[in-house]
């Protein structure tokens, strides 16, 4: 079998299954993660993007030089950006304004036109998906990819993810566990696997604030909890992709459990992943313990962690969210962004305040280090280089090596 691929689109899919060694030993089960972060665009959403664009081209709604419009929390937009670039389409994305900064930066680097919109309930006409639909109608030669209710999304997993898992496990699979945003991955993969063997369990892993956990349990669309740090999953309605999904049960996974699992995966398995992968694996471990030793459980490793370094992998942010202890329980590395030495305040004598004194030698680790030429006085004014202005005594805030200008207060 050839390993060459014809461009980006042909490289989507056929991702490996990774055995999670430590968790498998702990539970006595075989726990596997489908490595969707190894797709060329970096996430499971590459599959939906490919199938949605292919479908629009087949139906003739997307014509050469056209525009694709989507409302997305990030990963679908990234997949669409790659596909649109490879096929010459313009892409406009409407995104909630509460996503990680890295996602916006990446999408803009990929050439997408990103429009941030406030987070409001789905019932509000200003919700980002509604805005995307209206914008597509207003623009010439434009289509709304509509990932939530376009069943080409679900079909991507019926036709690719499900068959791949069945082949990779040689049909020896007892349960499939996944979270749900649009519903495409969980519904489509479960549909295929159950078509091969109805006894395979399909389990939803749901975060706080979502309504799907209660829907699976009681049939009522009712939220559980007040919200989650996870991005792109959990929803307050039943999408066309999720409707009729053959899901047997659901587990509710709180944020601390998700964060601990994310750091366990990094420390124990060497896998640098996003929060959705954390909730999926946490759900898989719960199902493994419920089923008992000797069973095989597969879940989805949705995307990598590089898009979350300012949040999920940032000590200060974790502390702000009350999740630092959860990260430490999972094996938080010692060196992380946000853990900088405090700014040192050093007294400067008035006689050094001369036009020719632009730098100050500071002893640091038995060496002299010259501070920047534009160090600022803290709460005081000094004579400027032109020789004008009053002379006063005070203190200068000087960043030590490695702190950068952000150390100035």
Residue 70 above 80 pLDDT? yes
Catalytic hit among 34, 45, 50, 307: 45
Average pLDDT score over the chain: 87
Do 303 and 173 belong to one domain?
yes
pLDDT band, residue 1 (cuts 50/70/90): low
Q: Decide if 335 is inside a domain.
A: no
Q: Which of 80, 82, 72, 92 is nearest to 48 (CA)?
A: 80
Do 33 and 173 belong to one domain?
yes
Do 101 and 229 belong to one domain?
no
Do 257 and 317 belong to one domain?
yes
Does 50 participate in catalysis according to the annotation? Answer: no
Residue 385 above 50 pLDDT? no
Do 15 and 164 belong to one domain?
yes
Per the document, the length of the chain is 409
Q: Decide if 338 is inside a domain.
A: no
Element (H, E) at 204: strand 201-206
Q: Decide if 367 is inside a domain.
A: yes
Please tell me which residue, 333 or 190, carries the higher pLDDT value. 190
> Which of 114, 144, 174 marks a domain boundary?
144
> What is the pLDDT, as a whole number, of residue 382?
39
pLDDT band, residue 349 (cuts 50/70/90): low
Do 188 and 77 belong to one domain?
no
Do 106 and 245 belong to one domain?
no
Burial zone of 384 (CB within 10 Å; 0-12 exposed, 13-18 middle, 19+ buried): exposed
Do 88 and 190 belong to one domain?
no
Q: Decide if 2 is inside a domain.
A: no
CATH number at residue 79: 3.40.50.1100
Do 283 and 223 belong to one domain?
yes
> Which of 330, 352, 367 marks a domain boundary?
330
Residue 390 above 80 pLDDT? no
Residue pair 101/258 in contact by the 8 Å Cβ criterion: no
Do 90 and 64 belong to one domain?
yes
pLDDT band, residue 115 (cuts 50/70/90): very high
Do 166 and 262 belong to one domain?
yes
pLDDT band, residue 378 (cuts 50/70/90): very low
The three state secondary structure string of 189-201 is HHHHHHHHCCCCE
Q: For residue 221, which phi and psi values (nearest 5 degrees)?
A: -85, 95
Structural domains counted in the chain:
3
Domain that holds residue 384: 344-407
Q: Decide if 112 is inside a domain.
A: yes
> What is the pLDDT, as a whole number, of residue 350?
54
Of 12-26, 167-181, 376-390, the least confident: 376-390
Q: Decide if 337 is inside a domain.
A: no
Percent of the chain topping pLDDT 90: 74
Q: Decide if 33 is inside a domain.
A: yes
> What is the pLDDT, as a whole number, of residue 265?
98
CB atoms within 10 A of CB 52: 29
Do 276 and 296 belong to one domain?
yes
């Amino acid at each position: 079998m050839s390993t060459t691929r014809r461009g980006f689109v042909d490289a989507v899919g056929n991702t490996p299954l990774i055995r999670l060694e430590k968790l498998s030993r702990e539970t006595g089960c075989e726990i596997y993660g489908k490595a969707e972060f190894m797709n060329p665009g970096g996430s499971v959403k590459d599959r939906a993007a490919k199938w949605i664009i292919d479908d629009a081209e087949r139906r003739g709604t997307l014509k050469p030089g056209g525009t694709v419009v989507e409302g997305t929390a990030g990963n679908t937009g990234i997949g669409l950006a790659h596909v649109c670039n490879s096929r010459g389409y313009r892409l406009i994305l409407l995104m909630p304004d509460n996503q990680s900064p890295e996602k916006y930066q990446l999408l803009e680097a990929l050439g997408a036109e990103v429009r941030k919109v406030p987070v409001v309930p789905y019932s509000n006409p200003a919700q980002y998906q509604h805005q995307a639909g209206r914008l597509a109608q207003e623009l010439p030669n434009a289509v709304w990819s509509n990932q939530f209710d376009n069943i080409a999304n679900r079909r991507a997993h019926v036709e690719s993810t499900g068959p791949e898992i069945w082949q990779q496990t040689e049909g020896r699979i007892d349960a499939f566990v996944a979270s749900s945003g649009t519903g495409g991955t969980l519904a489509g993969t479960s549909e295929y696997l159950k078509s091969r063997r109805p006894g395979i369990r399909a389990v939803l892993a749901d975060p706080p604030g979502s309504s799907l956990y209660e829907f699976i349990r009681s049939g009522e669309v009712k939220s559980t909890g007040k919200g989650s740090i996870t991005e792109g999953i959990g929803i307050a309605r039943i999408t066309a992709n999720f409707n009729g999904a053959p899901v047997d049960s659901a587990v509710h996974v709180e944020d601390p459990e998700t964060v601990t699992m994310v750091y366990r995966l990094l420390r124990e398995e060497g896998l640098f992943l996003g929060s959705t992968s954390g909730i999926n694996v946490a759900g898989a471990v719960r199902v493994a313990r419920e089923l008992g030793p000797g069973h095989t459980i597969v879940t989805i490793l949705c995307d990598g962690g590089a898009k979350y370094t300012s949040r999920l992998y940032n000590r200060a942010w974790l502390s702000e969210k009350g999740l630092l202890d959860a990260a430490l329980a999972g094996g938080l590395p010692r060196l992380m962004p946000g853990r900088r030495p405090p700014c040192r305040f050093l007294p400067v004598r008035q006689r050094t305040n001369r036009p020719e004194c632009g730098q100050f030698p500071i002893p640091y680790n038995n060496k002299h280090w010259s501070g920047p030429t534009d160090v600022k006085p803290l709460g005081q004014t000094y004579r400027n280089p032109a020789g004008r202005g009053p002379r006063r005594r005070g203190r200068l805030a000087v960043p030590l090596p490695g702190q950068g200008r952000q150390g100035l207060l």
